[in-house]
């Protein structure tokens, strides 16, 4: 931690005994891990009196939780900070102080640069340090200077989370069990911004899961950058893998639906594949990124497996759970990718058949090995490849969704639909499903006859004997 220029117009935090409330506005970019981190930052600030407000104009504290995966991530952060500076100045003219904090992976990677270019920022904190946020707010309020905290401390931030996490609405919650990554894929900043792989102790995960279930949660998505590399300390002094943890969460904690993301093919062990056969609580949807179908590119990416090994892995998963739907990430135009490499990727997509996918053009991340690689692919070539790939993935997604029309599926209703009188939920295969139904269904699981496939959702009707709540 170090102190730079003094913060301007910093709001004074309330003491933990104060009943006064202050506005908190968190802007979250990026992955589900960031969504989870934003929720936890709100949790640790609650004892200081901070409560969520819908707009930065009403916020005594604004947190911008950033993502380094985004294209030109740092520039987008500075552009957003320019907007927030105006909000802060307008509030100052009204005599209202504002703490402005930047969190997440861009904060981790570019902390010093942020304070140099945006001195009106009061706090910069990396993903490992948000449990220290109350202390940082207090330091900023004492006008001790802008606070920057981007170490990778020895202690786990998990250990410092408040137990009274706000109850999620809608019966579904995320739960981070693992952070960081040691895989060092050529294109990725995560090992540099989130640090080495570390796993939360099983007992702490179980305790948080019990609280979530008591608060009405039916489905938990276990999160980690490399979630299936989970290796947490167990209460029996042994190391637990993801399979053992999932079995306890299902059988002893009583979670009805379990998902986990994001997985690496190299960490897909036999016991986890078997769990997809034996554990009905494991939902039949798996995000298992392959990135490319070319062995040459996979090697250049340092992915540690071949395209055929991925095909064989998917075959074993589908043997274990025949209705398993798969999703993946794809990067087109990695440095050195030829037409033949891209054709290999298209062949793999056609061989597997994906229910969903996220696809991107390769773009350099400063400090990663691929950024300095030779043979960068021309933008127009990347554009053309991405379009071709996305067209095929769209056809596959539509075909998968078409195949669920006519099926009766249990849907967990998580919120309102777009149209009045509608509720919206998730199928076991992570499809959005909308039906006409009462608000009382939110947070409950009910059977739905799937009748229609739309561009990004399904429509259906509730069956008669639906409610399993």
Q: Residue 251: is it exposed, middle or buried by C-beta count within 10 angstroms (0-12/13-18/19+)? A: exposed
Candidates 20-28, 95-103, 169-177, 188-196: pick the segment binding ligand SF4 (CB under 6 A). Answer: 188-196
Contact flag: residue 183 with ligand SF4 (CB under 6 A)? yes
Contact flag: residue 188 with ligand SF4 (CB under 6 A)? yes
Q: Give the one residue of 191, 224, 232, 417 binding ligand SF4; rule: CB under 6 A.
A: 191
Contact flag: residue 184 with ligand SF4 (CB under 6 A)? yes
- Taking the complex as a whole, the smallest distance from the CB of residue 305 to ligand SF4 amounts, in Å, to 11
Contact flag: residue 199 with ligand SF4 (CB under 6 A)? no
Contact flag: residue 62 with ligand SF4 (CB under 6 A)? no
Query: Which residues fall within 8 angstroms of residue 125, CB to CB, at 6 or more apart?
Result: 101, 102, 103, 107, 132, 133, 136, 147, 148, 149, 150
- Taking the complex as a whole, the smallest distance from the CB of residue 307 to ligand SF4 amounts, in Å, to 17
Measured from the CB atom, the residue of 245 and 301 that comes closer to ligand SF4 is: 301
| Cα dihedral: 212, 216, 219, 221 (round 10) | -30
Pick from 193, 276, 180: nearest CA to 223: 180
Site size for ligand SF4 (CB under 6 A): 10
CA separation (Å) from 403 to 248, 433, 451, 459?
A: 33, 14, 11, 13
Window 325 to 354, contacts with ligand SF4 (CB under 6 A): none
Measured from the CB atom, the residue of 160 and 360 that comes closer to ligand SF4 is: 360
Measured from the CB atom, the residue of 225 and 281 that comes closer to ligand SF4 is: 225
Candidates 160-168, 178-186, 415-423, 430-438: pick the segment binding ligand SF4 (CB under 6 A). Answer: 178-186
What is the CA 250 to chain-centroid distance, rounded?
22
φ/ψ (deg, to 5) at 160: -110, 10
CA–CA separation, 123 vs 147, rounded Å?
5
Contact flag: residue 109 with ligand SF4 (CB under 6 A)? no
Contact present, 122 and 10 (Cβ < 8 Å): yes
Give the orientation angle of helix 339-352 with respect to helix 307-320, to 10 degrees.
10
Candidates 31-39, 176-184, 230-238, 406-414: pick the segment binding ligand SF4 (CB under 6 A). Answer: 176-184
Window 252 to 281, contacts with ligand SF4 (CB under 6 A): 264
Q: How far apart are the first and last CA of the chain?
A: 49
Measured from the CB atom, the residue of 107 and 462 that comes closer to ligand SF4 is: 107
CA–CA separation, 126 vs 103, rounded Å?
6
Contact flag: residue 226 with ligand SF4 (CB under 6 A)? yes
Question: Binding residues for ligand SF4, per CB under 6 A?
Answer: 181, 183-185, 188, 190-191, 225-226, 264
């Amino acid at each position: 931690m170090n102190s730079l220029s003094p913060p301007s117009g910093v709001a004074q935090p309330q003491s933990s005994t104060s009943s006064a409330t202050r506005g908190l506005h968190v802007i979250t970019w990026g992955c589900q891990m960031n969504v989870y981190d934003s929720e936890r930052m709100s949790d640790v600030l609650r004892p200081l009196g901070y409560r969520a407000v819908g707009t930065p104009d009403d916020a005594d504290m604004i947190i911008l939780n950033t993502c380094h995966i985004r294209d030109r991530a740092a520039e987008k952060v500075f552009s957003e900070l320019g907007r927030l500076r105006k909000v802060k100045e307008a509030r100052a003219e009204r005599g209202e102080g504002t703490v402005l904090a930047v969190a997440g992976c861009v904060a981790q990677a570019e902390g010093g640069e942020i304070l140099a270019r945006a001195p009106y920022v009061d706090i910069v904190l990396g993903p490992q340090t948000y449990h220290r946020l109350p202390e940082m707010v207090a330091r900023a309020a004492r006008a001790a200077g802008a606070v920057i905290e981007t170490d990778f401390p020895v202690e786990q931030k998990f250990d410092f989370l408040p137990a009274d996490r706000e109850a999620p609405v809608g019966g579904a919650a995320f739960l981070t069990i693992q952070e960081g990554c040691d895989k060092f894929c050529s294109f990725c900043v995560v090992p540099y911004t989130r640090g080495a792989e570390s796993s939360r102790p099983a007992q702490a995960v179980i305790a948080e899961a019990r609280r979530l279930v008591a608060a009405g949660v039916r489905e938990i998505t276990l999160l980690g950058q490399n979630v299936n590399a989970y290796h947490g300390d167990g209460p029996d002094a042994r190391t637990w893998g993801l399979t053992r943890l999932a079995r306890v969460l299902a059988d002893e904690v009583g979670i009805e639906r379990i998902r986990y993301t994001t997985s690496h093919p190299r960490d897909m062990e036999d016991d986890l594949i078997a769990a997809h056969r034996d554990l009905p609580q494991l939902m039949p949807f798996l995000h298992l990124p392959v990135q490319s179908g070319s062995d040459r590119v996979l090697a250049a990416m340092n992915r540690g497996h071949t395209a055929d090994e991925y095909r064989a892995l998917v075959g074993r998963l589908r043997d274990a759970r025949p209705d398993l739907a798969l999703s993946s990430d794809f990067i087109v135009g990695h440095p050195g990718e030829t037409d033949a490499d891209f054709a290999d990727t298209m062949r793999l997509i056609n061989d597997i058949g994906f229910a969903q996918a996220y696809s991107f053009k390769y773009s350099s991340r400063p400090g990663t090995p691929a950024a300095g690689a030779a043979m960068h692919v021309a933008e127009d070539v990347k554009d053309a490849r991405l379009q071709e790939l996305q067209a095929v993935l769209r056809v596959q997604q539509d075909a998968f969704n078409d195949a669920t029309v006519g099926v009766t599926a249990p849907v967990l209703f998580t919120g309102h639909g777009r149209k009045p009188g509608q509720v919206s939920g998730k199928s076991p295969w992570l499809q959005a499903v909308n039906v006409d139904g009462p608000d009382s269904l939110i947070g409950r699981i009910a059977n739905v006859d799937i009748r229609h496939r739309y561009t990004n959702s399904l429509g259906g009707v509730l069956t008669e004997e639906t409610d399993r709540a």
